[in-house]
Amino acid sequence: MSSWLIDHGRLICPVSGLDRVGRLLIHQGVVAAIDPTDESVPAGAQQVDARGWIVAPGLIDLSTEIGEPGNEEDETIQSVTRAALAGGFTSIACAANTDPPIDTATAVEFIRQKAVKADRCRVHVIGCVSKGRAGEELAEIGSLVEAGAVALSDDPSPLSSAALLRRALEYCLMFDRCLLDRPEIPGLTRGGLMHEGLTQLVLALAPMPAEAEDLATARDLRLLEATGGRLHLSSISTAGSVELVRRSKSRDSGVSAGIRIANLCFDDQMMRSFDANLKVSPPLRSQEHLEACWEALADGTIDVLTSGHQPKALEKKMQELSAVPFGMSTLDTALAQVITYLIRPGKLDWCRAIEALTIKPAAVLGIPAGTLQVGSAADVVLIDPDAQWTVDTNHFYSLSHNTPLNGQSLYGRVEMAWVDGQRKFCRQ
């Protein structure tokens, strides 16, 4: 197994409080040393000059849509793992909304075998909470866990039945798994296209009110506090949800929360373009909600930053806006969006950003990853934070190009990525 010495890079590891220029040795698949002496570096170790670059734990994405099986025109496991590595994600947790959905042990095993064959980033499997993701009857959670599911979720569909959610929380507690729910009351958003507000009134598009999320968040938190266990609100986007999560955390409820990068970068004003690529759920909110989310991400109320990768083939995004499916392809651009829209303007510092993209999602999934501590698996990325580049979807690693960023200038990109000590990506 090859050895690597990464020299002169800015090492950032929130777990160990590391944030300084140094050197990192990868040997036999693990982080072997921080600042090793020349004498301790194995003969033949390959050296990388990371001057000006950031050396960070491999990023971890919660709930990535993978397309396969059922929607291979959007994405395949081969393409999604390629895009993940190019975006710095050495681990992804695949959403259960494949076709058929991941609600059986056989389905879990299918994904795991395909991921092994792809041999790129790590792919963790999230199993369905309900059979067929229909929200009516619990899936065989024990079988899913035994087959290797690391968490349970019907994401991106919300769990609309409070009774089902309560039973699911109790079952997940038994199996020590986290339940991921996207808080939304479907009856308040059905047929909606964008955030309810002044812009929506001007554009005369069907509304998706913030209250639909706020009410579901309040319900989820109340049930969590009644049952115990672990609940992750996978994509919150409103000032109301932020405040509810903040209060719940003050009571040590065990909740964690995530947000999609699109809900931090774009506001509802952008819908004036009628660009179908901006049709996402949760919808792009008003500036007031964005500001609350920026503050909550910075202070840790929102734990996790996710790509929200929802690839959709071109023909699916070329329909009438009312018929266009929700979603944005983001694995290729997510890190650059974090750098361009959050870090460079001063809304987020590097240490907190890396934390929200590594150790926090690892904690939700209960996996040993997201750190540069000596002895940990060498999942490592090198990031050039100042590289300026123009988004060209013709060069996307993802199969789908549904992004509003085509032609836009962004800062920051991943130069190299290792998984288990093997270099899996190197930008040419």
Q: Give the number of other Cβ atoms within 10 Å of residue 202's Cβ.
A: 10
pLDDT at 428 over 90: no
pLDDT reported for residue 420: 97
pLDDT reported for residue 2: 86
pTM: 0.97
Nearest to 266, CA basis, from 415, 149, 110, 405 = 405
Tokens of 298: 């910075």
Nearest to 260, CA basis, from 337, 325, 206, 186 = 337
How confident is residue 159, by pLDDT bands cut at 50, 70 and 90?
very high
Nearest to 335, CA basis, from 364, 306, 363, 293 = 306
pLDDT digits 0-9 by tens, 256-272: 999 999 999 999 999 99
pLDDT at 287 over 80: yes
pLDDT digits 0-9 by tens, 18-68: 999 999 999 999 999 999 999 999 999 999 999 999 999 999 999 899 999
How confident is residue 198, by pLDDT bands cut at 50, 70 and 90?
very high
Q: Give the number of other Cβ atoms within 10 Å of residue 389's Cβ.
A: 15
Helices (H), 196-327: 198-203, 210-227, 239-250, 262-265, 287-299
Nearest to 149, CA basis, from 170, 171, 134 = 171
pLDDT digits 0-9 by tens, 206-217: 999 999 999 999
Tokens of 362: 């690892």
Query: Looking at this protein, which amino acid is placed at residue 325?
Result: P
pLDDT at 250 over 80: yes
Q: Give the number of other Cβ atoms within 10 Å of residue 17's Cβ.
A: 9
pLDDT reported for residue 249: 97
Q: For residue 224, list its beta bridge partners.
A: none
How confident is residue 119, by pLDDT bands cut at 50, 70 and 90?
very high
pLDDT digits 0-9 by tens, 67-79: 999 999 999 999 9
The arithmetic mean of pLDDT across residues 326-339, rounded, is 98
Helix-then-strand count for the chain, H and E: 13, 18
The arithmetic mean of pLDDT across residues 320-330, rounded, is 96
pLDDT digits 0-9 by tens, 378-395: 999 999 999 999 999 999
Mean of pLDDT over the chain: 97
| pLDDT above 70: percentage of residues in the chain | 100
pLDDT digits 0-9 by tens, 9-18: 999 999 999 9
The arithmetic mean of pLDDT across residues 164-179, rounded, is 96
Q: Give the number of other Cβ atoms within 10 Å of residue 346's Cβ.
A: 8
pLDDT reported for residue 63: 85
pLDDT reported for residue 328: 97
pLDDT digits 0-9 by tens, 353-372: 999 999 999 999 999 999 99
Contacts of 352 (CB under 8 A, 6+ apart): 14, 297, 298, 300
Contacts of 306 (CB under 8 A, 6+ apart): 61, 62, 63, 234, 235, 258, 259, 260, 261, 361
- Spatial separation of the C-alpha atoms in residues 54 and 57, rounded to whole Å: 10
Residue 40 DSSP symbol = G
